[in-house]
Chain A
Amino acid sequence: MIKDIHKRKFIFNLLTGITYISLSKLLFLKKVNAKNKPNVVILGSGIGGASCLKYLNKISDLINLIVIDKNKKIRTGPFSNLVIGDIMEEADITFFLNKKKYNNVKFIFDEAKYIDSNKKFIEFSDGNKINFDYLIISPGIGYKENIIDGYRINDKVSVPHCWDGDGDLNYFKKRLGVLENNSLIIISSPDYPYRCPPAPYERASLISNYFKKKKINVKVLILDSKDSFTKQQNFFKEWSFYYKNTIEWVSRKNGGKVVFFDRKSNLVKNDQGESFKADFINIIPDQKAAPIIFNSNLVSNNDDWCQINPITFQLINFKDIYVVGDSINAWDMPKSAFSANSQAKVLSLNLINRILEKDYIDPVFLNTCYSFSKDDRAFSISAWYRLNSSEDRIVSLGSSESQVRLNSTETIKEAKHAYGWYKTLVNDIFL
């Protein structure tokens, strides 16, 4: 009986839905026939861009959907520390978009150099151009130069920062692999805001885990540009359980702020004039929006990040240009893959509503960010987000963290959840 009611309700919903979309489509196509279909361009096919693609593909017969990326393969930021820690292979976090899922989508693999927001075109390095009616930019992040004297972002000889899909993870691992007993590693952790706030501390944990398994005594010194960090108590507990006397954290006020780097002598200096010599120095640079944003003058007033409307993700002062992911100021939301995926859902649904001339949805966002301390132990921080009462910023409804305990199975369960979330995400958007 209940099944029958469900079946009737399902058929009713389905028929209503089909009728609704048919009418919407008919009305829309009538307009489209008078004009060409709108060009909807997604620039960047990382987690934010690929998530938008998944949703916009559902109306790909109503629009010309075009995806632009300089790379055919996407290597994710999430789980890259597990590659560094020799728990996963680089191939495990590298994906090609499954084009079979996107028959109506045009893919262009080329580097966009400039976006003309007035004339609404994107220019490539070879001078070719492509027009857009609506542009979604999911560009990842860029880096601030000249914060650390002597450090160059693209120096190929130093240890790469590996904070994006371009960094050479294998070179990073190769440099780690030659370290001997009693070596010192320095990780310089950036100032807020930056992509994936707990990741420098996860990296320190997984590097220590790697050497512990190899029975090589290596110390990791984290010199931090901040006085506190997310999940701090949980990391401290894990470090006291598993990496006692192996990981040391120095806050900014205690000399953690690195201001000078000398590659030749493998030395950094802090803002208090102290020098630290190490065998391996990993500087994670301070961050800002991606270069294409600045090259195209899409930020104003010396902002480091894109300012957006939190309902539509349209750039403030730039009509029909939307930005998602780590390059935006998302107020209370951290820069994470889960956040980018959640933002992409709202952006896409509201862009579809705009194209179909429907009302915007009232956004709700979720973030859950897992961090590993060893192969089978992880903990998380989660929060729901909504708009504030004046609907001009995203606010947290309160974040909460796991409570790590040595003898609890929760931390092991959370590691499984983390692997499960990652598999679900990449299967959903890339495969």
Chain B
Amino acid sequence: MKKISFALFIFICSNCFSDENKINIIVENCRACHNVNINVKEIPYIYDLPKIKFIELMLSYKKQKDNNVMTRINRVLSEDDIRKIADLMYD
């Protein structure tokens, strides 16, 4: 498992087309709260969601009128960003 994550990690951080690169580092930042290896009860664990559900959830924040932390973080991400984040996290 360690070797797999190491290989994926290097693969991720070394494929340096500007846009993909941006998505990779965005995902690293998401992991500050949504860590793949750490499941805490206060924050939803998102890695066992179906990919399509994740995309729907992220897009739904864009329609929400309240000002919760995910709505605010989502504001800067485009629909294209969200789909690429999903590709990286679930494929």
- Residues of A whose CB lies within 8 Å of any CB of B are 6, 9-10, 13-14, 16-18, 20-21, 24, 58-59, 338, 341-342, 345-346, 349, 352-353, 356, 358-366, 368, 380, 382, 384, 397-398, 400-403, 410, 413-414, 416-417, 419-421, 423-425, 427-428
Contacts and interface: CB of A to CB of B under 8 A. Distances in A.
B42 A361 contact: no
Contact of A400 (B28, B33, B38, B75): B75
A10 B5 CA distance: 12
Nearest to A352: B13
B73 A368 contact: yes
A353 B13 contact: yes
A360 B14 CA distance: 8
Contacts of B10: 17, 20-21, 24, 58-59, 352, 356
By CB atoms of chain A within 10 A, which of B8, B30, B32, B43 has the most?
Answer: B32
B63 interface: no
By CB atoms of chain A within 10 A, which of B6, B29, B41, B66 has the most?
Answer: B29
Contacts of B42: 416-417, 419-420, 423
Given A17-B7, A349-B25, A400 B32 contact: no
Interface in B1-60: 3-11, 13-14, 16, 18, 21-22, 24-26, 28-35, 37-38, 40-43
Contact of B8 (A17, A398, A403, A424): A17
A364 B32 contact: no
A398 B76 contact: yes
B91 interface: yes
B13 A18 contact: no
B80 to A, nearest CB: 15
22 contacts: A14-B7, A17-B10, A17-B11, A18-B3, A18-B7, A20-B10, A24-B14, A342-B29, A342-B32, A345-B28, A352-B13, A353-B16, A360-B16, A363-B25, A368-B73, A382-B69, A382-B72, A414-B68, A416-B42, A420-B40, A427-B35, A427-B40
A358 B14 contact: yes
Interface in B62-91: 66-69, 72-73, 75-76, 90-91
Size range of the interface on B?
A: 35 or more
Nearest to B26: A364
A365 B29 contact: yes
A361 B90 contact: no
A424 B25 contact: no
Nearest to B75: A400
Interface of B: 3-11, 13-14, 16, 18, 21-22, 24-26, 28-35, 37-38, 40-43, 66-69, 72-73, 75-76, 90-91
B69 A402 contact: yes
A387 B16 CA distance: 16
A342 to B, nearest CB: 6
A358 B29 contact: no
B68 A413 contact: yes
A101 B70 CA distance: 31
B33 A16 contact: no
Contact of B32 (A9, A362, A421): A421
By CB atoms of chain B within 10 A, which of A346, A384, A398, A413 has the most?
Answer: A384
A417 B16 contact: no
A359 B69 contact: no
Contacts of A424: 32-35, 38, 40, 43
A349 B4 CA distance: 17
Contacts of A14: 4, 7-8
A9 B33 contact: no
B8 A13 contact: yes
Contact of A13 (B18, B32, B91): B91
B60 to A, nearest CB: 16
Contact of B91 (A6, A58, A353): A6
Given A17-B11, A361-B24, A362-B22, A428 B35 contact: yes
Contact of B21 (A6, A13, A361, A427): A361
A400 B21 contact: no
Given A13-B91, A345-B25, A345-B28, A402 B8 contact: no
Nearest to A18: B7
Contacts of B31: 428
Nearest to B29: A366
A427 B38 contact: yes
